[in-house]
Structure 1
Amino acid sequence: MRLHEPFDQEWSANAELRHPAASLLKVPVVAAALIAGAEGRLSLDERIDPKMLETTVYPTIQAAFDGSTLSLREIAALSIVTSDNAAASAILDAVGDAAIKDFLERAGCRDTDPVPGFSDADFENLRGAYTTAVDQYRILTQVWSSRRLGDLRRWLTNNLRNTRLSARIEPPRTFAHKTGTLCDVAHDVGMLSTPQCRASVIVLTSKETDPTAVAYKMAGLGSQMADELDCLTAG
């Protein structure tokens, strides 16, 4: 956890320990797409029929659309807000590996592996793609410092996966975040904001026997951190 101005304090443990990144990798994918769109290298207005996205056994937006088309920007939004794997795969294919690598390098990431993909067939490879809390902080910093990534910040704020750190965080506090999940992995990474200050919060866990219990503990941790931020700024 890192408090931003005016406090600029940090608390961490095992911040350089490598964990399977899982869906946390969707953030640099979408960030790279938005930057490519802003620079004219990718048309985010291109329309796609959601039913043409790759099939998956996991929950997907495809079931919600019949005959409609979505822009690449809308598909990117859904890959973050709902963590839809098929949507994320479409954005990955559109933006390309080189742009994602460039974003990670610009963010200063040293221990985050290339994105293998988000299709059902890629899941074992996804388990082998690692990241660290240090790199996740660098990605958060890049996302919050770039004027071109305002959409991504808005989508992270409206994440529908609110069963971990954000489960007990209520307005006017917000937690703009992305989760990462595998059978023994439960991550949550984001920006916790109160009316007075912001804090980057990164919690990575792996080799868990009961990720549901971990999520419950994270909910308590998130609420506690928000309360402590309020107390700190009140003092």
Structure 2
Amino acid sequence: MRVMIVDDEPLARARLAALLQECENVELVGSVGDSEAALSALSEAHPDLLLLDINMPGLDGKALAARLAHRTRPQIVFCTAYEAHAVHAFDLGAVDYLLKPVRVERLRDALRRVRQRLEAQPREPAGWLHARVRGEPIRMALDEVVYLLAEEKYVVAHRSGDALLLDDSLRQLEETYPQQLIRLHRNCLVPAHRLIGLKTLPDGRVLARLAGTEFSPEVSRRNLPNLRKLLRVG
């Protein structure tokens, strides 16, 4: 099982990492200090499970869990010092709720529950985009995409480190993946899990903050209410 730790306290991350070493068939694929870093790492680490703190600066653990709630992977196990959030945590689909300091016996039990849930569910259907490299057709996983831009006659899929030309239009992509892709303006779509915030400029324009890139595309007035609602809910 591939596990990522998300906790703003370095000592808590270190303790969980040490406990995982005492558990069988577990691979630690990431240990990050906030939800934004977790979102950035998901497409490369592909964890089966997040061991997730709740009270963190910025996007807290509950908001991150809500953002990922439609996915089969990763599953969520909350690791927190507070009992008060337990009911909401299970409403968000969490597999388990561990109180700090986490004991290895409870962690093993949580891992067993996660395995049972993953075995009972088929893997999430992969989303694929059809692209071209030097004129040759290839396909790329939707999870790799940071943002999509329409440029003149083409749609360009921007990933970490490169960009590829796509065969489909933005409208076709939006209709194919209505739950995964959200529109920022007429020339830009982004994967929903990449949206981490909004920034209002002095002139009134609003930019989107995206996980995995410094690029901040502008948001149209037409799409702004939907994005604000998504951020409040997720």
Same fold, TM-score > 0.5, yes or no: no
Q: Looking at CA atoms only, which structure, 1 or 2, has the larger radius of gyration? A: 2
More helix by share: 1
> Which gives a bigger RCO, structure 1 or 2 (Cα 8 Å, sep 6+)?
1
Q: TM-score, normalised by structure 2?
A: 0.28
